[in-house]
A and B are shown apart, each in its own frame.
Chain A
Amino acid sequence: MSGALLSVEDVAVDLPTPRGNLRAVDHVDLVVGAGKTLGIVGESGCGKTMLSRAILQLLPKKAKLSGRVMFDGQDLPALSAEKLRKLRGRSLAVVFQDPMTSLNPVLTIGTQLTETMQEHLELDLANARQRAIELLAAVGIPAPEQRLSQYPHQLSGGMRQRVAIAVALSCEPKLLIADEPTTALDVTIQAQILDLLAREQQRRHMAMIIITHDLGVVAGRTDEVAVMYAGRVVERAPTPSLFKQMRMPYTEALLAALPKLDAAPHTPLPAISGRPPDPTRPLKGCSFSPRCRYSAGRCGTEKPHLSAAEAPDHLYACFHPIAAGANA
């Protein structure tokens, strides 16, 4: 795709651990176009955060990265630390699950907002302050002027996440990576924050990656979804196609295992038996094979590759994909 803002090509992340090498991200390819939203879904430990840290070039020191990360025409791993820092402050922004990871506990909210803007947008203090107030109002913080002198710990979790989003938006980034921005929050606050992100994204024509373990979060709010399992992307498709027709058995099982609001109480859930493989002991065949009810033949001995078998934009990694129409 030529108009891609971000392209992740064959990225792998290896981490040395006492149990041996751990492949956290295993040959992932992704593309995000300008102004588009990609959802990355998967369970705990499947590599979502490591992938986003690989994109941001914020991996742990001992991590080994391979592959290419092209952002806005630049090869990120090849950039100097100084260039990267500039880029992350400006066109590439991030919001983490815990807002305190992004916020500095000893600086007031006003300082955190104005400093970034003074540095990256070269605004003077008065202008930066004015913009800070506007931003806080835009993210739904009441009495924004008074908040400038407050510290993060004086706010509730939901408010802190709004401030973290305001900081991330302050320099008009081209891409915002939101790593489980609402997992720690209540449903009503979660809905408010997701609305806020969607609104700001549209207004600014910003691209966004929403990382979550909740298929419900990506369904109504993304253009494309990538499902990860054991470090790999196992299915990728435009959001409507994915939900209309899941081809990879893991994606289907993940959706089925969610309790449904329209199901009667005490309906047994179609649980997935077992658990994901130990990432330091990778399986020879398909990583999902020990838990997959369709596993047969080469599933246990050969890795299926992510490919588009029928529709060009619907990719999946499976030898025995679910037949068209089977789960619609």
Chain B
Amino acid sequence: MMLQAVSDPLLKVENLVVEYSVGGKTIHAVSDVSLDIARGETLGLVGESGCGKSTLGRAVLQLRQAVSGKVLFDGHDLTELRGEALRRMRRRVQLIFQDPIASLNPRRRIGDIVAEPLVIAGVKDPEERRQRVNEVLSAVGLDPALVSGRLPHEFSGGQCQRICIARALVLNPEFVICDEPVSALDVSIRAQILNLLEEMKTRYGLTLLFIAHDLAVVKAVSDRVAVMYLGRLCEVGPSEQLFARPAHPYTALLIEAIPVPDPDVRPTQSIPVGEPPSPIAPPSGCRFRTRCPRADARCSSEVPELRLVAPGQLAACHHPLI
């Protein structure tokens, strides 16, 4: 899939397949996904619950072994690295989770939680660790003197997410996977954290994979957006272009379903009834065909490949909208 090749990819995912096996059945969580992320860019990844977003993120980090495919980070195939070599590469990639409170150890102090990656990475000098921790805590808008000695339960969801972001940044990573970092937060707090992530990205020169199911949130922070459905990639393209002229019927449906805070915009009544099919027995051909208004015979017999539909924009559809 050389079509999407960006000029200077930091991450290249090639034909990645990830499966789970549950009670003798195979869940096709990620099927033949390829993507590139350029150095310094934010790629947004959207799709319905269960479509495989987190699995993709975890497979990139080698937290879940892929069945096949490659994950090239800065030219090294992470799927082939083992032991110390893998640990060294993984230090350059960090993960921020959806549930900030659950991802912090309730019995440890904030200072120790944020310092933990440094300890694991072998930074022995406590003074050096303290300095680095204070630096990132200040960067995320927390006062190190006030928060370092306290426990997670003393903080709100938004503050816990700031702590998680500090912990993810403490090793100076190049690449951060944000898995629904604001989904559990309230509107007013969500805006604070989105702004913070943008600020951190600029300040530390980060490359981001930003996973979310909220399209408006994804658009706010992403240079390009990738849309996933039932384990497969439907469409990838520059954010504004993709929202203005979606090529894949599923992308169009997602955009249409967003509730708009404007009483003059009548909600659409055209959302077809139907729910995502099971990832255990995904439909043949195009996986979206059971809900697609444009589906025909070819859609059930032939898997649509990603192909260029506009400059920089790719869609996997036999009958794209553009």
The answer, yes or no, to whether B189 is at the interface (CB within 8 Å) is: yes
User: Is the Cβ of B192 less than 8 Å from the Cβ of A216?
Assistant: no
| A-B CB contact pairs (8 Å), 9 listed | A43-B188, A140-B273, A188-B254, A191-B256, A219-B259, A220-B262, A243-B263, A258-B191, A271-B191
Given A43-B186, A257-B190, A257-B191, verify A266-B261 contact (CB < 8 Å). no
* Measured CA separation A143–B6 after assembly (Å): 47
User: Is the Cβ of B215 less than 8 Å from the Cβ of A265?
Assistant: no
The answer, yes or no, to whether A259 is at the interface (CB within 8 Å) is: yes
* Measured CA separation A157–B44 after assembly (Å): 25
User: Is the Cβ of A43 less than 8 Å from the Cβ of B198?
Assistant: no
User: Is the Cβ of A216 less than 8 Å from the Cβ of B258?
Assistant: yes
The answer, yes or no, to whether B265 is at the interface (CB within 8 Å) is: yes
Besides the known contacts A194-B259, A257-B187, 4 further A-B residue pairs in the complex with CB atoms under 8 A apart: A220-B267, A259-B191, A259-B217, A275-B156
Quick check: which of B17-25, B130-138, B220-228, B303-311 contacts chain A, the rest being far away? B220-228
User: Is the Cβ of A188 less than 8 Å from the Cβ of B261?
Assistant: no
User: Is the Cβ of B198 less than 8 Å from the Cβ of A188?
Assistant: no
Contacts of B268 in A (CB 8 A): 191
User: Is the Cβ of B213 less than 8 Å from the Cβ of A268?
Assistant: no
Q: B residues engaging A (CB < 8 A)?
A: 48-49, 156, 158, 186-192, 194-195, 198, 213-217, 219-223, 239-240, 243, 253-269, 271, 273, 275
Considering the complex, which residues of chain A in the window 252-299 have a beta carbon less than 8 Å from any beta carbon of chain B?
253-255, 257-261, 263-273, 275, 291
User: Is the Cβ of B187 less than 8 Å from the Cβ of A43?
Assistant: yes
How many interface contacts (CB-CB < 8 Å) are there between A and B?
Answer: 137
| Smallest Cβ-Cβ distance to A214: which chain B residue | B259
The answer, yes or no, to whether A215 is at the interface (CB within 8 Å) is: yes
* Measured CA separation A189–B271 after assembly (Å): 9
* Measured CA separation A159–B278 after assembly (Å): 14
* Measured CA separation A268–B220 after assembly (Å): 8
Contacts of A214 in B (CB 8 A): 187, 259, 261
* Measured CA separation A3–B106 after assembly (Å): 53
* Measured CA separation A219–B266 after assembly (Å): 9
How many whole Å from A215's CB to the nearest CB in chain B? Answer: 4
B214, B253, B259, most chain A CB atoms within 10 A:
B259
The answer, yes or no, to whether A127 is at the interface (CB within 8 Å) is: no
User: Is the Cβ of B186 less than 8 Å from the Cβ of A187?
Assistant: no
User: Is the Cβ of B271 less than 8 Å from the Cβ of A192?
Assistant: yes
The answer, yes or no, to whether A213 is at the interface (CB within 8 Å) is: yes
User: Is the Cβ of B257 less than 8 Å from the Cβ of A265?
Assistant: no
User: Is the Cβ of B261 less than 8 Å from the Cβ of A186?
Assistant: no
User: Is the Cβ of A217 less than 8 Å from the Cβ of B259?
Assistant: yes
* Measured CA separation A194–B258 after assembly (Å): 12
User: Is the Cβ of A189 less than 8 Å from the Cβ of B275?
Assistant: yes
Contacts of B188 in A (CB 8 A): 43, 253-254, 257, 271-272, 275, 291
* Measured CA separation A243–B260 after assembly (Å): 11
The one of A191, A270, A275 that contacts B259, using a Cβ cutoff of 8 Å: A191
The one of A140, A186, A219, A258 that contacts B187, using a Cβ cutoff of 8 Å: A258
* Measured CA separation A157–B276 after assembly (Å): 11
A43, A157, A186, A192, most chain B CB atoms within 10 A:
A186
User: Is the Cβ of B257 less than 8 Å from the Cβ of A190?
Assistant: yes
How many whole Å from A226's CB to the nearest CB in chain B? Answer: 15
The one of B158, B222, B253, B262 that contacts A265, using a Cβ cutoff of 8 Å: B222
User: Is the Cβ of A215 less than 8 Å from the Cβ of B220?
Assistant: no
Contacts of B192 in A (CB 8 A): 271-273
A140, A159, A240, A272, most chain B CB atoms within 10 A:
A272
User: Is the Cβ of B254 less than 8 Å from the Cβ of A187?
Assistant: yes
* Measured CA separation A273–B222 after assembly (Å): 23
User: Is the Cβ of A269 less than 8 Å from the Cβ of B261?
Assistant: no
| Smallest Cβ-Cβ distance to A192: which chain B residue | B271
User: Is the Cβ of A195 less than 8 Å from the Cβ of B271?
Assistant: yes
User: Is the Cβ of A269 less than 8 Å from the Cβ of B271?
Assistant: no
Given A187-B254, A266-B221, A269-B220, verify A220-B263 contact (CB < 8 Å). yes
